[in-house]
Amino acid sequence: MSNSDLIIWILLPVIIEAIFIFIRYKCRNLLKQKATQIMVLIKALAFVIIAAVTISIDNVFNVKTTYLFGAMYIVILSDVITNVVMMVINIFYKKKNFVAFNILAYIIMLITLAYGTINSQDIKPNYISFSSPKIKKNHTFVFMSDLHYPTAQNRDRVKKALSEIKKLNPEFILLGGDITDEFTNYEDLQEIYENIGALNIPTYYIYGNHDRQNKAYKLGKIKFDVEELEKVIKDNEITILKDEWQYVSDDIIVVGREDVSEKQGRKKVQSIKNWPEEPYIICVDHNPYQEKDIMELGADLQLSGHTHAGQLFPLKAIYKLGVKYVYGLYKTSDSPNEKYLYVSSGFSGWVLPFRNEEHCYYEVVSLVGE
């Protein structure tokens, strides 16, 4: 994300909120109390729909179009919050104050914009720990997913986070897909993998649904092809695991899955499940929705991303209604050893430099013997 992109992102909701205030001023005598309540419900539904559209569309034409959707989301969400606050105030103070409403709406919009934008640039470590009798000695590694470099984050923030990972001195790094996306150009591709490779930590990579620029490829707008992508990754001494497994220590095997978006390329579980039983098995699969595969693989730990924990409120709660695994830790088996799936909120958001659902995380995972 460039400085000019950030300025555009900040200005859009400010301008749209000003337009909303002008419209409210012109229509201030038209709306009665019941009409106001109906408008609040309509706006509440509108910001949920806009949030879903903003995150769901794969807009490979222009990032600014997504910014416009995101700005509308912020403004309408802020208006709904303002309406609710004013309804509470009106219980005790019956007189409506048009000026106070608009001032409050603008303040809430600015707070919402500031929080979500700052939160999207603040990349934090998330420490989690697992124990197993299969672990012969303690291990620490880092799991990173969904960088989407450099679409939604400041480059210096990403480099700072990578520097902090270096200081942690993990035994190895697992990249959970969507390190790049349709908006990444070839120079950015080189830059991010050179930065990761420069950490000099053994690193293993799996594909996400955006890395190969599949949507852009269909429109003839790719910035690099799959061969160039794989060459850059391998040139930086990063191992690609595509429905393959590999020992990363004497007691740990990592299984890297092809992404489910590659319907013809993803192998059946039975064709790759030929590893020894004794080691601790970590499966890395970008998409956490394949519940049958999760169970059949029988890995001790699966790490996934893709969901961004919803990114925009209240999508996390809505996703949970239809999808079992959205964010956090899930136990997938109790016996003979406990087995887990962990879904990360991701290193970055999708396109927008904004998130108000969870933080931007990379996981620092400790494995402890029993």
Per-residue pLDDT for 33 more than 60? no
pLDDT value of position 222: 84
Q: What is the pLDDT of residues 170-193, one digit of tens each?
A: 999 999 999 999 889 999 999 999
**Nearest alpha carbon to residue 368 among 137, 127, 125:** 137
Strands 238-240 and 203-205: parallel
pLDDT value of position 101: 86
pLDDT value of position 56: 79
Reported as a pLDDT band with limits 50, 70 and 90, residue 303 is: very high
- Distances in whole angstroms, Cα of residue 105 to Cα of each of 12, 76, 110, 154, 334: 15, 10, 9, 28, 49
The whole model's pTM is what?
0.92
- Distances in whole angstroms, Cα of residue 89 to Cα of each of 100, 103, 215, 318: 11, 15, 48, 29
Burial, 134: exposed, middle or buried (Cβ in 10 Å; 0-12, 13-18, 19+)?
Answer: middle
Are the beta carbons of 205 and 248 closer than 8 angstroms? no
pLDDT value of position 217: 67
Rounded to whole angstroms, the Cα distance separating 143 from 251 reads 18
Reported as a pLDDT band with limits 50, 70 and 90, residue 89 is: confident
203 or 83, higher pLDDT: 203
Range(s) for CATH 3.60.21.10 in the chain? 123-369
Per-residue pLDDT, averaged over 267-296, amounts to 92
Per-residue pLDDT for 34 more than 90? no
pLDDT value of position 221: 78
Q: What is the pLDDT of residues 188-234, one digit of tens each?
A: 999 999 999 999 999 999 999 999 988 776 666 788 999 999 999 99
Amino acid (1-letter code) at residue 173: I
pLDDT value of position 238: 98
pLDDT value of position 143: 98
Per-residue pLDDT for 165 more than 80? yes
Per-residue pLDDT for 39 more than 90? no
Buried b (16+ CB within 10 A) or exposed e, 226-246: eeebbebbeebebbebbbbbe
Dihedral sign from CA coordinates of 267, 269, 273, 277? positive
Dihedral sign from CA coordinates of 259, 262, 268, 271? negative
Task: Report the chain's mean pLDDT, rounded to a whole number.
Answer: 90
pLDDT value of position 72: 94
Burial, 276: exposed, middle or buried (Cβ in 10 Å; 0-12, 13-18, 19+)?
Answer: exposed
Reported as a pLDDT band with limits 50, 70 and 90, residue 59 is: low
Residue 204 dihedral angles phi and psi, to the nearest 5°: -125, 135
Pick the CATH number of 123-369 from 3.30.1180.20, 3.90.79.10, 3.20.20.70, 3.60.21.10: 3.60.21.10
Rounded to whole angstroms, the Cα distance separating 87 from 259 reads 48
Per-residue pLDDT, averaged over 238-262, amounts to 95
Q: What is the pLDDT of residues 106-128, one digit of tens each?
A: 999 999 999 999 999 999 999 99
Q: What percent of the chain has pLDDT over 90?
A: 69
Reported as a pLDDT band with limits 50, 70 and 90, residue 40 is: confident
